[in-house]
Amino acid sequence: MAKNIQQKKTQKAKTQKAAAKITDLSANTENSADQFLTTNQGLRINDNQNSLKAGERGATLLEDFILREKITHFDHERIPERIVHARGVGAHGFFQVYESMAPYTKAKFLQDPAARTPVFVRFSTVAGFRGSTDLARDVRGFAVKFYTEEGNYDLVGNNIPVFFIQDAIKFPDLIHAVKPEPHNEVPQAASAHDTFWDFISLMPESMHMIMWAMSDRAIPRSLRMMEGFGVHTFRFVNEQGKSRFVKFHWKPLLGVHSVVWDEALKISGNDPDFHRRDLYEAIDSGAFPEWEFGVQIVEEKDEHKFDFDLLDPTKLIPEELVPVKRIGKLTLDRNVDNFFAETEQVAFHPGHLVPGIDFTNDPLLQGRLFSYTDTQLSRLGSPNFHEIPINRSLAPVHNNQRDAHMRQTINQGRVSYEPNTLGGGCPFQAGKDMSGFVSYAEKIDARKVRARSPSFFDHFSQATLFFNSQSEPEQTHIINALRFELGKVETIAIRERMLFMLAQVDKTLANGVAAGLGLQVPTKINGPLNQSIPADGDPKKFQPQRAKQEVGTSAALSMANTVKDTIRTRKIAVLAADGFDNAALTVFKNALTREGAVVKIVAPRLGTLTGSEGTEVDIDFSLLTCKSVLFDAVYVPGGEQSVTALSNEADAIHFLNEAYKHCKAIAATTEGIDLLSAAFLKGDAGADVIAEEGIILSRNPPGKKVATEFINAIARHRAWGRENKAHVPA
């Protein structure tokens, strides 16, 4: 009896000790020195940097249980909002190819120039929640669903042609780092905080993407004025089974334009829905957004001829090496009827293919092929997400899948398996000669490894190419963006690591950022530069290795070289009060609207204004309900009474000062010039027309010449030379 009691006491003590150990484990802090990476089952992980592949450049293997566990957990972290790309806006449209692409691909939607393929496009920010601002500094998703006769094809890309990481196994880490910090859920939709830059400072492969993200590309003027890219290298396969590598591009016909950072901050306060409102209003007014679809095609024999690896998603192909061939046009011509049913429930997946388009072994793409389906299962709650109307294929769907949550199809008959005789053998396999999908027969001969090809180790050359390709204002904006972002980082060691990384890209860049942070650029850092190395790898072997660049600068990478010959859909504010020069307003408004611009009257109050000739016009906005950041340019008509009233309005003066600070086109005629003088912008104008640095002035009643100068100034987007002037009080 006593022995049994003692055994029970001993067993109880062991149980309590084990429970205490479990409690201790769960209470471990981030700074515990004895922590090792494990799976959710406690299995220690030897390599958390690379997915399991069939050779260093081979396909990622389904048996990689560590990758699948990690991404599955990540995919299911948010319900029901998307974990990434939560804030989006969508629209319907159509795509037409210019000429048959049969020599390159058997995809039917790329064959007939007369055929219109219906599409649904969703644009999005990445980091913010559904209620965040449109104008966050962020990557923009650019996802296109083609409803083709062969089934749905999804081209799921971004407005930046490269990405932060090379292997999908790091994606949860990247997003965890950029999301609001978990201890206080701050900051929202922003990368300017410690955890993001801590991660980036340890991931040199991210430096090319950082150049793009810190450039003006990350704060577009409009979704209609940004490029789109497929990011990865894909394959085109023709009827003869010949494969070629392909990169996908979307080129906006309105050009690529952005706002400045101060403007983005203020737009976020004035109209956080700026981009989605802009897209909706443009389509609603009949100014349909258009992009040309471009491809860069590389023969298989040329796969290894570049100084970078085609499978590396942190690299692009400079257009000087492989020009972009524009093969078709995308037009958005219809807004959604119901945001939730369409934009929120649309489900994209890079694995939704049609015959003639296939994958490569890009390790980031390989991980996405698993992740997207898994995410839809979590977010939309069922494997039947393809039956939601916005996701339905126009091509008939016949398979033996049945049941599951929210099943909508009512299948008839007794057969739900294949092969069968009871159903007449249906549905039949298409077979090679019936245009079914056939995966490209890529030769694979490799060992199973967790490794990265040495051809992926050049992390800085293309970052340098991007920075060197920027115009002087764009380079200044990148430096200021990094000053802002790193200025929000509280840990000095992280700032210093980032400065060291930036020095590997460009010394001038690093010194410029360091000056704003009050730091010196370090000459070395502790530990290996490349943290993304296998646990058993030699740090020296895995260090970044610069490649000799065939291209020193690339014109396509700078927005300074974009389209600047149109003012279609640009919004022009007319700053006026009672007594404005009605004749002058008529001349300008007619000239601007003929060119496709949108003209709005901004006044001290709402209601109507009475012009100098007694004519009344409706006021669109009061100075209280809108700011200059919501417009592309400003015109001040004459009229002594109007100008006197506006000169006494502090908001009117601020409106002009702010437009000047943001380098926008400003025009003033007759007495309107006096309002600019009151705003400390320009003095008297003696000549008929003075046009200087985006400021157009005329003391004479306006005619065609002054209106034309104003239109040309707006088309140039911004007068960047004004950034070097003494700042006005705005």
Q: How far apart are CA 449 and CA 505, in angstroms?
A: 31
Cα–Cα distance list, 681 to 500, 628, 643 (Å): 41, 15, 15
User: Does the CA dihedral 257-127-389-355 come out positive or negative?
Assistant: positive
Residue 348 region by backbone torsions, left for phi larger than 0, else alpha for psi between -120 and 50, else beta: beta
Note if 85 is an active site residue: yes
Round to whole Å and give the CA distance between 596 and 612: 27
* 506 Cβ contact list (under 8 Å, min separation 6): 464, 467, 468
Cis peptide before 323 (omega within 30 of 0): no
Q: In this structure, is the dihedral angle defined by the CA atoms of residues 603, 609, 611 and 617, taken in order, positive or negative?
A: positive
| Residue 119 main-chain phi, psi, to 5 deg | -135, 155
Measured in degrees and rounded to the nearest 5, phi and psi for residue 15 equal -65, -45
CB-based contact 217:159 (threshold 8 Å): yes
Gyration radius (Cα) of the chain, Å: 29
DSSP state of 342: I
For residue 80, whether the previous peptide bond is cis, meaning omega lies within 30 degrees of 0, is yes
Per-residue CA distances from 728 to 4, 269, 492, 656, 677 (Å): 88, 21, 33, 10, 12
| CA atoms of 159 and 688, how far apart (whole Å) | 43
Indicate which residue of 85, 477, 662, 717 is catalytic: 85
* Amino acid, single-letter form, for residue 335: N
**DSSP 8-state code for residue 333:** E
Has 28 been annotated as catalytic? no
Asked, as a colleague might, if the bond just before 419 is cis with ω within 30 of 0, I would say yes
CA dist., res. 718 & res. 260, Å (int): 10
d(CA 658, CA 664): 9
Marked catalytic residue, from 50, 152, 158, 530: 158
Structural contact between residues 545 and 457, judged by C-beta atoms closer than 8 angstroms: yes
| CA distances in angstroms from 505 to 30, 205, 467, 532, listed in the order given | 31, 12, 8, 18
To which residue do tokens 């039947």 refer? 384
Give me the DSSP letters along 595-647.
TT-EEEEEESSSSEEE-TTS-EEE--EETTT--GGG-SEEEE---HHHHHHHH
In residues, how long is the chain? 730
- Helical segments of 395-553, H only: 461-469, 472-487, 492-505, 507-517
Q: Are 109 and 86 in contact (CB under 8 A)?
A: no
**AA letter at 432:** K
E strand or H helix that includes residue 704: helix 704-715
Could you give the angle at the alpha carbon of 723 between the alpha carbons of 722 and 725, nearest 5°?
65
Cα distance between residue 201 and residue 198, in whole Å:
5
The span from the CA of 517 to the CA of 715, in Å, is 36
* Whether 628 contacts 271, CB under 8 Å: no
In three state form, how does the secondary structure of 661-704 look? HCCCEEEEECCHHHHHHHCCCCCCCCCCCEEECCEEEECCCCCH
Tokens found for residue 313? 């998603």
Give every CB contact of residue 223 below 8 A, 6+ residues apart in sequence. 89, 123, 140, 275, 278, 279, 289
Tokens of 190: 């922003």
CA–CA distance, 600 with 614 (Å, rounded to integer): 19
Residue 677 CA to residue 10 CA, distance in Å, equals: 91
Active site members: 85, 158
